[in-house]
Amino acid sequence: MNDERRMLVDAATSIFEDLCSPETVRAAEQSGWPGPLWSALAEAGFPWVSVPEQHGGSGGSVADACALLRVAGAFAAPVPLAETGLLAGWALSSAGLELPSGPATVGVGNRDDTLGLTGSPGSWRLSGQLHRVPWARESERIVAIAQQHGQAYVVSVKPDDTRIEPGRNLAGEPRDTVRLDGVATSDDAVAPAPDGVSTDALVLRGALARAALMSGALSRVSAITIRYTNERQQFGRPIARFQAVQQHLVKIAEQTEAAIMAVTAAAGNAVRACDFFDVAAAKIVAGEAANIASASSHQAHGAIGMTKEYELGQLSRRLWSWRDEFGRAEDWSRLLGRQVAEAGSDALWPRISTGLFSNA
């Protein structure tokens, strides 16, 4: 990690330490929004890292943003840090639209969702629906890709102009259904999507963001499982002395390192755009790690891990949610498998042996 990124991570860590305790996370699952945490993050410009400064962002790279997300994941941070800059901020700035000053999100919807744009400058209207939009009700803007006559547009709508049906994920994070019935949209909130900006591209970035969050949550799961099993005594000694428990600890730590490696390489290579192979691999590996580490850490914890109070559950419920969001490992395996098969057997080794290729 370079010095600048290290400073960024250290600064973020101290904000989360102060303002994102397990109690804050628990409270946010009820109240919906940890105001002081968001204000502090916004003050530091963290939600807009990776969005160019000339577009109102904080500058920095996708790798910087993912390094921040790793910290956020470790603290189970209940805020749309990924959505605001890396996703919505990217789409808006790429299309030359203005960034809101508050939290923003993206709606990629599910397979059957559509979002249609009608009208023309001065009279734009948006109709359609988007399911499972993260943090929609807490956002200042919902950003999405709408279609008109085969042309894609980046659009930015105010949640108040839509009908929102609140939903949530397994961790109690808002995942809302957003319905738009001919929402009048001003000219400064609609722009043709430039090359490379599409729903697929948003899903790809979203997958990278979720994998980064997961890699952070995994580190924390590993740390608290090591701590707990060294404290908890049974049969007259710390349970970490039992070989069966040690096997859990090693598996969790290994899976964590694999997820971090995949995410760091994928984020490091995402200089101009996210590489499909890299991000698919990162989401697959992080998803697999989430499966294994959540099962092993719960087993090693016994009943205490099954309580709402204890920190493990905040992390495991997020791992179980994030592994599904923006495509499950199964979905990405299918997509990646298609791409690899198309490239053919002679291209297989050259691609697998292309790891981190960017020094940026």
Partner 1 sequence: MEFAPTTLTAAEEELRSEVREFLAEELPPDFRPGLGMAAGHNPGFSRKLAARGWVGMAIPPQYGGHGRTAVDRFIVTEELLAAGAPLGAHFVADRQTGPALLHYGTEEQRQRFLPAISAGECWFSLGMSEPDSGSDLASVRTAATKVDGGWLINGTKIWTSGAHLNHYFAVLCRTSPNEGDRHAGLSQLIVDLSAPGVKISPIPYLDGSHHFNEVLLQDVFVPDDMVLGEVGSGWRQVTSELAYERSGPDRYLSTFNVYREMLRELADQPLDDTQTRTVGYLAARFWTIRQLSLSVARLIDARRAPAMEAAFVKDMGTVFEQESIGLLRAAADRELDPGRGSLFARLLAEAILTGPSFTLRGGTTEVLRSVAAKGLGR
Find tokens 């290290």 and name the residue.
6
Q: Could you give the angle at the alpha carbon of 234 between the alpha carbons of 230 and 235, nearest 5°?
A: 125
Q: How far is the CB of 157 from partner 1 (least distance, A)?
A: 35
Stretch 215-244 residues interacting with partner 1 (CB under 8 A): 226-227, 230, 240, 243
Q: How far is the CB of 87 from partner 1 (least distance, A)?
A: 22
Burial class (CB in 10 A: 0-12, 13-18, 19+), 60: buried
Of how many residues is the chain composed? 360
Contact 61, 67 (CB under 8 A): no
Rule CB under 8 A: choose which of 13, 169, 198, 358 binds partner 1: 358
Q: In this complex, which beta carbon is closest to partner 1, that of residue 58 or of residue 264?
A: 264
Contact 122, 153 (CB under 8 A): no
> Is residue 322 part of the contact set for partner 1 (CB under 8 A)?
no
Q: In this complex, which beta carbon is closest to partner 1, that of residue 244 or of residue 303?
A: 244
Closest C-alpha among 265, 240, 235, 266 to residue 253:
240
Percentages of the chain per state (helix, strand, coil), in multiples of 5: 60, 15, 25
49: amino acid identity, one letter: V
Rule CB under 8 A: choose which of 108, 281, 300, 312 binds partner 1: 281
Rule CB under 8 A: choose which of 247, 272, 304, 309 binds partner 1: 247
> Is residue 341 part of the contact set for partner 1 (CB under 8 A)?
yes
> Is residue 253 part of the contact set for partner 1 (CB under 8 A)?
yes
Residue 245 in tokens: 């428990």
> Is residue 111 part of the contact set for partner 1 (CB under 8 A)?
no
State the residues that interact with partner 1 by CB under 8 A: 1, 226-227, 230, 240, 243, 246-247, 249-251, 253-254, 257-258, 260-262, 264-265, 268, 277-278, 280-282, 284-285, 288, 329-330, 332-341, 344-345, 348-349, 351-353, 355-359
